Structure 1
Amino acid sequence: MAPPWLLALVGYSVLPVGITVTLWATAPSPWSSTLWVAMGFGLLFNVVASVLVWYYDTTVLPGFFDEVRELVVEESMADVERLAARHQRFFARRWAYTAVPWTVLILTTAVLATDFQRALGVAGAGDPVYPIYLAYYLWGGLLTGVGFHGMLTTVRCIREFTDAVDLRIDPLHPDGLGGLGAFGFLAIRTTLLTSLGALLLPMGFEMAAGQRLEWLVGSAILLYTVFIAGTFAYPTFRVHKVADRLREAELNRLRAEIRGLPGQLSAAGDGDTAAVDNRELAVQLEIQRLRREYREYADVKLYPMSVSILAQLVGSVLLPLFFLLLDLALSRVL
C-alpha cells in the first residue's frame, strides 16, 4: 500500500493540475516565458502546500504534544492533554476565520487584474474559462489562509503551553537542547509552511506588472520576509525565556546544596575516626555529583535552535528574496 503522504500528494494534485492545464489548453495564444514561470511555481505551491497543510494537521501538531510530554511534570500532564485537544481542534475547525477573509482579498485581486487575465487568455467575466480562473485563486487563497492559520495555531499553542504547563529541563536530552528541540521543530515546520507562499511571488509580479505596482510587491516581499522570521523568533524566544528561568532556579538550588554540605559535616561533630572519614568521603562525593549536575545545567543550550533548524530558517527567510532577484533577472533576460 502506498504511504499516506503519497496518497495525499496525488489526491491534492488533481484540482490544481487540472485547472492549470485547462487554462493553458484554452488560451488563444501561447503563454510568455515569464508567465510559464509564474504559473509553474504557482502550481508547485498549490500541490506542495496542500500536502504540508495535511502533514501539519496529522503529524506535526500531534507529534509536538507527544514529544513534549517527557518534559512535563506529572502534575501538569492533564494540562497537556487539554491543550493538545484544544489546539488541534482550533486548527481543524477555526481555519475559516483566517482563510475566508484572506481568500476574499485574493479573489478581489484576481478579479481586478484584467491585464493578467488577458495574458492568460481569459477574456473577462463572460469567458467560459473565467470560473476556472477564479477557482485557481480560490484554491490558492484557501491554502495560504490555512497556512497563516497554522502560524497562529503554533504561536497560540506555544504561548499557552509555556503559561499553563510546568516544564522541566533535561540537560542529558539527546537533542542537546534540554528537550526544547520539540518547540524548535514545531516552530520551523510552521515557518516552512508560511514561507512556501513565496512560490506565488512570481505570479504576484506578473499581476502587478500590468497595474504598474511592482514597488508594492517589492515592499510586500520585505515585510513578508520579516514576518517569516518573526513566526519562528517569537515562539522560540518565549520558550527560551521560560527555560532560562527554570535553569536559573535549578542552578540556585544546586548552589545552595553544594554550599550547605560542608556545614552539615561540621555540625556532625567529632566521633569515631573511621566514621568521620566515611562522612567526609560521602560529602565529597556528593559535592562532586552536585557540581557535575550543576555544570550540565549551566552548559546546556536552551534556545531551541540546531544546525538543521537554522538551515531551514535561513532557507525560509531567503526564499522570498530569491524570487525577488529571480524576477529582476528574468525581466532583463526575457
Structure 2
Amino acid sequence: MFLSLLITIKNLIPPPEIALTLGVVLFALSWIRPRRIISLPRAGARTVLLAWVGIAGSLLVVVIATIVSAIAVASYAHPTSGFDGWWRRPVPLFIATVVVAIAALALRRMPLPAPGERAIAPRRPWHSFVSRMLLWISGIAAALLAVTALWQGAIGVSAPKGAQFLGNVPVPTDLPIFMTFNSGYGFVAGTGWPNYLPTLVVLAVAAVVFVVALRTDANRPLFARSWASSVRAERELTARVLTFILLGGLITTLGAVWMHAGSIGQGMIGLTDVRLNEGLDGSDPSAEPVLIGSGYYAIARPMNLIGHFLQAAGVAFLLRLAVDTARALVASRRVAADTSNREATSTGVRR
C-alpha cells in the first residue's frame, strides 16, 4: 500500500529535466536563509519599476524556462532533426535580456532634471554601481557558457551517406550537427553550429544590453539638490536587480546547455572481444564485451548532473528574487507610510 502510494506520487512529479521540478526544491531550501536578497528605494517611479522587473520579470523567465524544458522532454519520443533545441536552450537568457532591455528603456523615459537644475557629475564606467562579486559570478557563468558552446560547435561534422547513427536517429541532413563516435564508427546528433550559434548570439546580445543599460543609468543626470548617498543607493539597487535578472537567465541557460552536452556525451556501445588466436568468436559466452564511450564520456555524466542542478538553481534563484522583491516592496511602503505619519504628527497643530 505504502509502496504503491510512493510510486503514484513519483509518477505525478514531473521529470527533473523540467526546470521547475528541482527548482521548487532548491527554492524551498533557500529559506534556510530567510534574509532578503534585494531591497528597493523608499518611494517613487523607480521603486515601482524595479518592483515590476523583480517580480514580473523573474516569473516570466521562470515560466518560459519551464515551458521550453517541458517541450524538450515531450519531444524525446518524436522524430528529431538533430538541432531541435537550437532555440530552446538559450531562450531563458533571451527572455532575461528582453526584461533588462525593457527596464532600461523605462528608466530612460523617467523625467530628467532641467538643464539648470542638473548637478555636474563625472562620466562613470558602466560597472560603477555593480557589486564586484556579482560581476565575477556573471563573468564566470558567461565564460563557461561561451566555452561550452564554442567547443560543442567546433566538434560538429557532417555524417556521410550510409553512416551508422547512435541514439536518436535524426532526419537525413548534410548539416554539421554530428559528433563522431569511436573515430567514425558512428555518429551522434546534437552538436555543431546549427545547435550552438544561437546561444553565442544571445550571449553576445545579453552582454551588450547589460553594459549599455548599466552605463546609461550610471550617467543619468542628477538633480542639483539631491543627496549623493541617496542617489548612489538607488542606482546600486537598480544595478543589483538588473544583474540578478540576467544572472538567473544565464545560469538557467548554462544548465540547459550542460544537460544537453552531457546527455549526448554519455553514449556507450559494447563490442564483443574477438580472440581469433584462441579460436573464440563473438558467439562464445566467454568473449567479454569491450565498452566504448564518446570522446568526453568521462566528464559527460557529471556535466549532465551539474546541468540539472544549474538549471534548477537558476529557476530557484529567480523565484526567490520575485518573492524577495515583493517583500521589499511591502517593506518600502511601510517605511514610507511611517515617515509620512511622523511628518504629519510633527507639523500638526499642538493642543
Task: Give the TM-score taking structure 1 as reference length.
Answer: 0.36
Q: Higher strand fraction: Structure 1 or Structure 2?
A: 2
More contact order relative to length (CA 8 Å, sep ≥ 6): 2
Task: Give the TM-score taking structure 2 as reference length.
Answer: 0.35
